[in-house]
């Protein structure tokens, strides 16, 4: 036994875990270090796929599928769209302000301590293999629609609000600005006209109609 190869784990499990862990960590670092946003999004997709495979090894089949559909599918497409809209070259990719670097160092320290603590407190044996229905759509859905019905409805309302909010926030205001300008212009013309010709009609009669 060793740290890399824990007791009781089958060789296949260990190899798959380390490959996926290396892939996830590598592409996560790749995501936050790339200058080009498109490359960053693509490494984010790779991270999500690695995590989906890892969920499958944790017998969370439903969530593995959901991870691919929602994260690697929907959210990534959203990111790609915005990258294409913005399309900006980045001038300063990283900013090493002292306080922020201190924050990162504090995080690393916390990570090291976490590894120490968790190595003492957590059981290092492989958990018993769960039943065949563990993590399937039927099992998770049963729990979701019985015990977690209200949270489920709450999250659906949250999604609705997010959709409406997204549309309202990102809406273009150019039409409104143009309409306001045109209204101001008409008002000015009207004031000038009523000043020059006090008794004249408000609107000129359309020609060709008698």
Q: Assess 205 for contact with another protein (CB under 8 A).
A: no
Q: How far apart are CA 194 and CA 171, in angstroms?
A: 38
Among 1, 2, 11, 95, binds another protein (CB under 8 A): 95
Q: Assess 181 for contact with another protein (CB under 8 A).
A: no
Which phi and psi (to 5°) does residue 201 adopt? -65, 155
CA atoms within 13 A on the CB side of 14: 12
Among 19, 84, 101, 192, binds another protein (CB under 8 A): 101
Size of the site for another protein (CB under 8 A): 93
CA distances to 63, 141, 143 from 137, in Å: 9, 6, 10
Q: Assess 188 for contact with another protein (CB under 8 A).
A: no
Q: Assess 165 for contact with another protein (CB under 8 A).
A: yes
CA-wise closest residue to 54 among 22, 30, 28, 21: 21
Q: Supply the minimum distance, in Å, between the C-beta of residue 204 and another protein.
A: 38
Q: Supply the minimum distance, in Å, between the C-beta of residue 70 and another protein.
A: 5
Site string for another protein, 48-67 (x = CB under 8 A): x--x--xx-xxxx-xx--xx
Q: How far apart are CA 112 and CA 26, in angstroms?
A: 19
Q: Assess 177 for contact with another protein (CB under 8 A).
A: no
């Amino acid at each position: 036994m060793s740290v890399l190869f824990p007791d009781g784990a089958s060789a296949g499990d260990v190899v798959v875990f380390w490959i996926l862990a290396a892939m996830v960590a590598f592409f996560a670092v790749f995501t936050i270090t790339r200058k080009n946003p498109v490359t960053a999004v693509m490494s984010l997709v790779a991270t999500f796929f690695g995590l989906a495979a890892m969920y499958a090894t944790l017998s969370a089949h439903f969530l593995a599928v959901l991870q691919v559909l929602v994260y690697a599918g929907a959210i990534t497409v959203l990111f790609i769209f915005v990258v294409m809209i913005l399309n900006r070259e980045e001038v300063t990719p990283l900013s090493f302000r002292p306080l922020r670097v201190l924050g990162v160092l504090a995080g690393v320290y916390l990570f090291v301590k976490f590894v120490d603590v968790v190595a003492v407190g957590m059981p290092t044996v492989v958990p018993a293999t769960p039943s065949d229905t563990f993590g399937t759509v039927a099992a998770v859905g049963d729990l979701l629609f019985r015990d977690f019905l209200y949270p489920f409805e709450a999250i659906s309302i949250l999604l609705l609000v997010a959709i409406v909010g997204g549309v309202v926030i990102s809406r273009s205001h150019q039409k409104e600005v143009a309409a306001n300008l045109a209204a101001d212009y008409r008002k000015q013309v009207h004031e000038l006209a009523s000043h020059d010709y006090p008794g004249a009609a408000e609107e000129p009669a359309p020609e060709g109609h008698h």
